[in-house]
Amino acid sequence: MRVVVGMSGGVDSSVAAILLKKQGYDVTCCFMRNWDSFANNDIAGNPTIKDDTCPQEQDYLDALAVANHLDLPLQRVDFIEEYWDNVFKTFLSEYEKGRTPNPDILCNKYIKFDSFFEYAMKQGFDKVATGHYASNKEEENGFTYLTRAKDQNKAQTYFLCQVEKSKVAKTIFPLANLEKPEIRKIASELNLESVATKKDSTGICFIGERNFRQFLSNYLPSKDGDIVDVNTGKVIARHVGVLYYTIGQRKGLNIDHEKGPWFVVGKDVVKNILYVCRTDQRDLLYSDSCVVKGINWILPSLDEIPTKCTCKFRYRQKDQDIEIERLDDTSVLVKYPQTIASVTEGQEAVFYDGDKCIGGGVIEEVFKDGKNLNQLIMETANGHRGLNISYLKIKPIIMSLLVFQN
């Protein structure tokens, strides 16, 4: 069986290639280049822009060293235009709306399991393999489910929730039953010096580490504005642009003269206001339901969509018990009467049935007691602000009456 491995130049995909070769597959490695810093104006916030060798080129050289060491062919393909059109434009559009997208999910959906997958099929490969910490399992009904890997600390099914079910069935996850220390040990034992101790990649998918605010400023102009205490309506500081903050954020608010800590609780993108609350006043961070749209179901049929299951509203979150009310084939109302903090528009809700990842979609609207939470936040703050303004208007009258009485 001919298998192509998406080779990133890191230890995970390298060991995936090793394991497949040992298992007798006819293995080809393929390195994807998806970002060009100069062509894409990635200047501000880029710590490596002046380096002689850019990080992506170094990753390619590391992948080449591994492929040569294993005596495997290495192909190189460019998906720079596809990444810009399908991943990065969506990423920017969501931030412009004040939402918080997940670029890793977009990257898997449009690049690794679309552009790269289709390239592999056209090249005549039978299956695609990746270094993701995930697994898949074909059951008696012939359907292949996406399932969790052994290493729960590195588990990545959350990021694979938008992969089409037909492609899950044609993918091999060689690292499914291994944990990270075992993978590094395998690389060390085979003297894969270029990757054995290499730091795990972080930052934006295929772009890397960036000063995020500076990076975004290359594409979206920043505009400073008021930070408002949602519980008093009082302006307590200034922000550098509402686009740069996410719900639940605590660090980087620079609220020095008011006792905290403070959390971001909401945004008014039109008026450029950032709403915050104190630790002991976080009621408006909690919601009890949300609408999720654009769901990719990894199930044999839509009839198997459950009414109860678990869900992650962000990557590192523990599974949350939820109820599902189906709105249409790709949209649901998710209910969680226990209430959950920081469920955020633009992020992904990913559904699980035990070890099976059964799909995921984008959080479009968040509610509390049947009311849009962000609208409730703005009304609460504006109500307090209105009281403050009204008091300031009548204060001179009150003072003059007091003087008159005396």
Range in 226-240, 262-276, 391-405 the model is least confident about: 391-405
The three-class DSSP label of residue 295 is strand
Domains delineated in the chain:
2-213 (3.40.50.620), 222-281+374-397 (2.30.30.280), 284-369 (2.40.30.10)
CB contact at 8 A, 54 and 44: no
Residue among 173, 166, 175 nearest 298 (CA): 166
Q: Give, in order, the Cα–Cα distances in Å from 274 to each of 262, 263, 381.
A: 12, 10, 11
For residue 187, the Cα-to-chain-centroid distance in whole angstroms is 28
Q: What is the pLDDT of residue 239?
A: 95
Residue 340 half-sphere exposure, CB side, CA atoms within 13 Å?
24
Q: Is the pLDDT of residue 392 over 80?
A: no
Residue among 25, 125, 12, 126 nearest 72 (CA): 25
Residues 6 or more apart whose CB falls under 8 angstroms from that of 141 comprise 300
As a whole number of angstroms, the distance between CA 174 and CA 160 comes to 15
Q: Supply φ then ψ for residue 229, to 5 degrees.
A: -70, 115
For 279, the token pair is 């630790």
Q: Is the pLDDT of residue 244 over 50?
A: yes
Q: How would you classify the pairing of strands 286-297 and 331-341?
A: antiparallel
The three-class DSSP label of residue 144 is strand
Per-residue pLDDT of 160-216, as tens digits, reads 999 999 999 999 999 999 999 999 999 999 999 889 888 887 667 767 777 778 888
For 73, the token pair is 């062919």
Whole-model pTM?
Answer: 0.90
As a whole number of angstroms, the distance between CA 337 and CA 335 comes to 6
Active site residues: 107, 205
Per-residue pLDDT of 259-268, as tens digits, reads 778 999 999 9
Instruction: Give the pLDDT mean for 54-66.
Output: 90
Binning pLDDT at 50, 70 and 90, where does residue 402 land?
Answer: very low
